[in-house]
Structure 1
Amino acid sequence: MLLVHAHPDDESITTGGVMARYAAAGAEVHLVTCTLGEEGEIIPPGLAELGSWAGDQLGGYRAGELAVACRALGVTAHHFLGGIGRWRDSGMAGTPAAEHPRAFAGGPIAEQTAQLREILDEVRPDVVVTYNAFGGYGHPDHIRAHEITMAAADSVPRVFHIASGGGANPTPDAPATTVIDIREQLDAKIAAMRAHATQITVRPPEFALSNGVAQPIGETESFTLVRGPAAGAETDLFGGL
């Protein structure tokens, strides 16, 4: 299984349960992170000077948070697209960050697709997971992650879009085809989310991003099969492969 995410913390919020579940079951779980999340807002006041508006060291700090989160999920195979620091968090559309020369959403899509295809050719996953065409909530980096994944994963047996998960208010999407029970993985998911302390405040059974709006930490994670054989409502991303 290979998951493509835009920033550190996206993996834990939206897919931490399935990553932990399949890693514990012995599956080879690979995570691709496209940027370091340099433009993220910072929750702890004592770390504010890491921000792009100050020391611009948040990306390196978040890479460390991501490493801790992956350990909590039992995931040991991690890749930064193009190598660590190649692509930078673009921020939201219309912000100055979008004009940065390394901004992920503004980078050459052919190069980025080739970088992801190289990873896919090496890993040869049976299942790939990424965002829907709206990126879940419209972030340009999420949309670009969707675009390159759909272009690069043309030979992958099954491709899923994330149909639900925390982080924002998603737009209506195709109905979920696959709902995964993650109750046994909740402790691992919560630990991974807590690792991203610059971005997430965790108070089970809820969490909040920098806007302070409480959201539930669900006991399931849902996905929509968009490429590959379907067998009706499923509870396994591999679908008997």
Structure 2
Amino acid sequence: MTRLLFVHAHPDDETLATGVAILHHVRRGDDVHVLTCTLGEEGEVIPAELSHLQGAEGDPLAAHRKGELKGAMGVLGATHHYLGAGDGSDDPSYRDSGMVGSPAFAHPRSFAGADLREVVDVMRSTIRAIAPDVVVTYDEHGGYGHPDHIRVHDAVRAVLAEEPSASTLFVTVTPRSWAIEDRAWLASHVATETGYAVPSTSDEMAPSVVDDAVVTHAVVDAGVVPQQQDALRHHETQVVVGDGWFALSNDIAARLAGREGYAVLDPVTGALAPGDATHRRGLVEDLS
């Protein structure tokens, strides 16, 4: 049995970025773990009836998002961990940093503001305890540039660089052809009257959208999309779920296509393994 560890910054990232792979490998019978590094205290709350949680004294949003994540993990079926939890607490050691320049970034428990070496030491302890064959996290851009996502990437890479033979490291990337197909699909499936914007195929794409040849592996499993949607519905403060699509607080629709792209990363050099656009299926078939 292969053990996989998905490392994420905030609640909901696990389902949004890697939900297909998590569900696929759980169904395969693999031993799947998720590590979350903060409680997403700086998240923008979508439902008006829960808006009082956002930015409130005492971080009530943290407790609410913790409950959301518990519900989502129940759907995903993976084993969950918080980074640095212990000493009688099951909460993570660090807090959501918000964006660079925000007051949250200067918080004494800010994840991205913490000393990288300290974070690496905490991360190493957790990864060693789980002992995964495969570790999955964001690319060097953190998907879309969030400092907590980038900190996760840097810390995971540093840990695995110290022990390069211990685990195979994958980062999340999207083939450009998929991104174009998904935007075309959204244009024909998300009605204007929903109020959600649909990006055009010519609009700027996230840094994690790459040439198809860069992607070494793909998890394609349309059958898990209903479960992925169910998991996302637990993240009610952050996500609106449609039929085959979702939107965050920016009101821009994104497709739930039942497919995710990944690339193998050398943690020592930071170089991506050469791809050839064949996109090997799943994340474990090539492990020795």
* 3-state SS in 1 of match to 2:80: strand
CA contact (8 A) 1:81 1:112 kept: no
1:10 to 10, 13, 18: 13
Which residue does 2:191 correspond to in 1?
Answer: none
The question of 1:162 aligning with 2:172 is answered yes
CA distance in structure 2 between the aligned counterparts of 1:190 and 1:37, rounded to whole angstroms: 20
Residue aligning to 2:82: 80
Match of 2:283 among 231, 237, 240: 237
Tell me the residue number matched to 1:212. 251
Match of 2:260 among 201, 221, 225: 221
Alignment match of 1:19 (pick from 18, 22, 37): 22
In the alignment, the residues of structure 2 paired with residue 45 and residue 56 of structure 1 have an alpha-carbon distance, to the nearest angstrom, of 17
Q: What secondary structure is seen at the aligned counterpart in 1 of 2:145?
A: coil
Are the aligned partners of 2:225 and 2:244 in contact in 1 as well (CA < 8 Å)?
no
The answer as to whether partners of 1:178 and 1:236 remain within 8 angstroms in 2 is yes
Deviations 1:24-56 (A, max 9, x none): 211111111010000000011111111124552
Task: Show the counterpart of 2:107.
Answer: 100
* Residue 85 (structure 1) shift: 3.8
Please give the alpha-carbon distance, in whole angstroms, between the structure 1 residues aligned to 2:84 and 2:205. Answer: 30
Tell me how far apart the structure 2 counterparts of residues 22 and 230 of structure 1 sit (CA, whole Å).
24
Cα offsets for 1:133-170 (capped at 9, x unmatched)? 1111110000000000001123333111100399x952
Q: 2:55 aligns with which of 52, 56, 69?
A: 52
Contact map agreement 2:215 2:275 (CA 8 A) in 1: no
Match of 2:186 in 1: none
C-alpha distance 113-190 of structure 1, shift in aligned 2 (>3 A): same
2:225 is aligned, of 186, 201, 220, to 186
Q: Under a length normalisation based on structure 2, what TM-score does the superposition of the two structures give?
A: 0.78
Q: Would you say the 8 A contact 1:35–1:85 is kept in 2?
A: yes
What residue in structure 1 maps to residue 44 of structure 2? 41
More relative contact order, 1 or 2 (CA 8 Å, 6+ apart): 1
Is structure 2 residue 209 aligned with structure 1 residue 201?
no
- Of the structure 1 ranges 110-119 and 156-165, higher mean CA displacement relative to structure 2 is found in 156-165
Q: Write the letter of the residue equivalent to 1:80.
A: Y
Q: Distance in 2 between matches of 1:85 and 1:116?
A: 11
Tell me the TM-score normalised to structure 1 length: 0.93
Residue-pair matches, total: 239
Question: Distance between the aligned counterparts of 1:145 and 1:28, measured in 2?
Answer: 21
69, 73, 77: which is aligned to 2:72?
Answer: 69
How many percent of aligned residue pairs carry the same amino acid?
39
What do the CA deviations read for 1:43-95 (whole angstroms, capped 9, x no partner)? 111111111245521011101100111110111x2111111141000001111
Unaligned runs of 5+ in 1: none
Could you tell me which runs of 5 or more consecutive residues in structure 2 were left unpaired when the two chains were aligned.
86-90, 183-203, 268-272
- RMSD of equivalent CA atoms: 2.1
What secondary structure sits across from 1:136 in the alignment? helix
Question: 2:188 maps to what in 1?
Answer: none
Task: Say if 1:50 and 1:56, in contact at 8 Å, map to a contact too.
Answer: yes
Q: Is the 8 A contact 1:130 1:146 kept in 2?
A: yes
